[in-house]
A and B are shown apart, each in its own frame.
Chain A
Amino acid sequence: MKFTEEHEWLLPEGDLIVVGITEHAAEQMGDVVFVVLPEAGTEVTKDDEIVVIESVKAASDILAPLDGEIVEVNEALADEPGKVNDDAQGAAWFFKIKPADLSQMDDYMEEAAYKDFIG
């Protein structure tokens, strides 16, 4: 699993990358009440704003960590946005992306580096 400075986690699954936000990010956001997900089939470019997370405090944007195609989104979050707080690095994944350029994964941190990053 890799981590971005935007507090996303990226987990390879076959030829796809599963993306979510870290427990640290979920904790900072507070109780999540609504998640806006992209549609499957959307072509995205790295740093596109593709997810909006609404918490009791504020709305936060999640950027595409990679170029590629969104092939699946976690529809369960529409009914249970609170999963983001309960299981950010598990059941509350946001989308699966088919990366156009796997070398973009090299830009991201290993878990130890991410832990240092969040201090």
Chain B
Amino acid sequence: MSDMKHTPLYDLHVELGGKMVPFAGYAMPVQYPLGIMSEHKHTRAKAGLFDVSHMGQVILKGDSYEAAALTFETLMPVNVLGLKEGRQRYGLFTNDQGGIEDDLMFANRGDHIFVVVNAACKEADIARMTATLEPSVTVTPITDRALLALQGPAAEAVLQAIAPGAAAMTFMDVATLDADGVELWVSRSGYTGEDGYEISVPADQAEAFARRLLTHEDVEAIGLGARDSLRLEGGMCLYGHDIDAGTTPVEGNLGWAMQKVRKPGGERAGGFPGAEAIFDHIENGAPRLRVGLTPGGRAPMREGVELFASAEGGAAIGRITSGGFGPTVGGPVAMGYVPAEMAEAGTTLYGELRGKRQPVTVTPLPFVAANFKR
């Protein structure tokens, strides 16, 4: 893995016994000696610390927030202008066919928009933003800061003790906090379904900050393996798997991410790539939808498992896009795409596993209820 990029926490991961694997060009810990199952459960019970420094952090700056927001809205079917200062929102870059090019978080930080995009897409995202938004909005990738996530019910108390002000934030708030001279850009959000924070910290102070969090008895380092099982139980999409350039936001069951003002009849309807295709899905329904799926047995059904309408015969009607064992659920969980007429919760379908069709039940997402501080 000598050609892999390292995050500022690489040495710490190795010291902690992290099993390093390639992920989006970076050497990242898939798990620590605790193991995926225990790391997952620890995060839901107390607090887990995740290194997400491989993700892309970008600052967008125009003449004003409003000016930058209106320009940014040309890339997403999302209300950027209406986001209040100190708040964060989920966003989606779309293409001309209405497909999703990436999903992201963006925040109104007063004089600028702070954007966090997926690691695997960050080069393309930065190129897209630069080509579309400049020169009226400057696009500045932030390469001198690490990004950590502290997730779980104990996260609030742990961070508040180090960075006063953390406890006063509610879900999707953003703030700049001080941790004894270290400037933290904090959002109260995450990718686990638990309460918690994502914390941007200067790269040269990231290891010391991470060590400080880890000294708390409630905090364990958590790898990408548990991050995936946590987000899957939380019903959240993994870009490139559950959503991609060939799925519209409506198909991806992400209609909630498109605010009224950008939809048909809205004040700023359209004006983003693929509006026509997405509006068609909004008005007439999408032919297929992303749903939660619970395999009937104890065998996990993973990405790529084909779905059928009946126990025998017929062509595949859909496919699992994410699946595995849910440690909190205590059994297999999955999500995938099915025809809209088979998307109702409770519908029985069949997944073909090792040549045998096993029942799966369409299940409302999330599998584990979110524990956000609203």
A-side interface residues toward B, CB under 8 Å?
30-31, 33-34, 36, 52, 54, 56-59, 78, 81
Quick check: is B35 within 8 A (CB to CB) of the other chain?
yes
Q: Which 6 A-B pairs have the closest CB atoms?
A: A31-B37, A33-B325, A56-B36, A34-B299, A34-B298, A54-B300
Quick check: is B354 within 8 A (CB to CB) of the other chain?
yes
Chain B stretch 325-341: residues in CB contact (< 8 A) with chain A: 325, 327, 332
B interface SS class:
mixed
10 contacts between A and B (CB under 8 A): A30-B31, A30-B36, A31-B36, A34-B325, A36-B299, A54-B299, A54-B300, A56-B324, A57-B225, A59-B300
Extra A-B contacts (13), CB below 8 Å, given A34-B300, A56-B229 = A31-B35, A31-B38, A34-B299, A36-B299, A36-B354, A52-B354, A54-B300, A54-B325, A56-B36, A56-B324, A59-B300, A59-B302, A81-B298
B22 CB to closest chain A CB (Å) equals 15
Range of interface residues on B (Cβ < 8 Å): 10 to 19
B-side interface residues toward A, CB under 8 Å?
30-31, 35-38, 40, 225, 229, 298-300, 302, 324-325, 327, 332, 354
**Interfacial chain B residues near A36, Cβ < 8 Å:** 299, 354
A57 CB to closest chain B CB (Å) equals 6
Residue of B nearest to A27 (CB): B35
**Interfacial chain A residues near B300, Cβ < 8 Å:** 33-34, 54, 59
Interface contact A30-B299, CB-CB below 8 Å = no
**Interfacial chain B residues near A56, Cβ < 8 Å:** 35-37, 40, 225, 229, 324-325, 327
Residue of A nearest to B31 (CB): A30
**Interfacial chain B residues near A33, Cβ < 8 Å:** 298, 300, 325, 332
**Interfacial chain B residues near A78, Cβ < 8 Å:** 298
**Interfacial chain B residues near A31, Cβ < 8 Å:** 35-38
B21 CB to closest chain A CB (Å) equals 10
B355 CB to closest chain A CB (Å) equals 11
A59 to B327, CA, bound (A): 16
B11 CB to closest chain A CB (Å) equals 23
B215 CB to closest chain A CB (Å) equals 27
A5 CB to closest chain B CB (Å) equals 22
B18 CB to closest chain A CB (Å) equals 13
B44 CB to closest chain A CB (Å) equals 15
Residue of B nearest to A56 (CB): B36
A81 to B297, CA, bound (A): 14
Interface contact B36-A57, CB-CB below 8 Å = yes
A102 to B38, CA, bound (A): 42
**Interfacial chain A residues near B38, Cβ < 8 Å:** 31
A58 to B354, CA, bound (A): 14
**Interfacial chain A residues near B354, Cβ < 8 Å:** 36, 52
B371 CB to closest chain A CB (Å) equals 21
**Interfacial chain B residues near A59, Cβ < 8 Å:** 300, 302
B48 CB to closest chain A CB (Å) equals 15
**Interfacial chain B residues near A58, Cβ < 8 Å:** 302
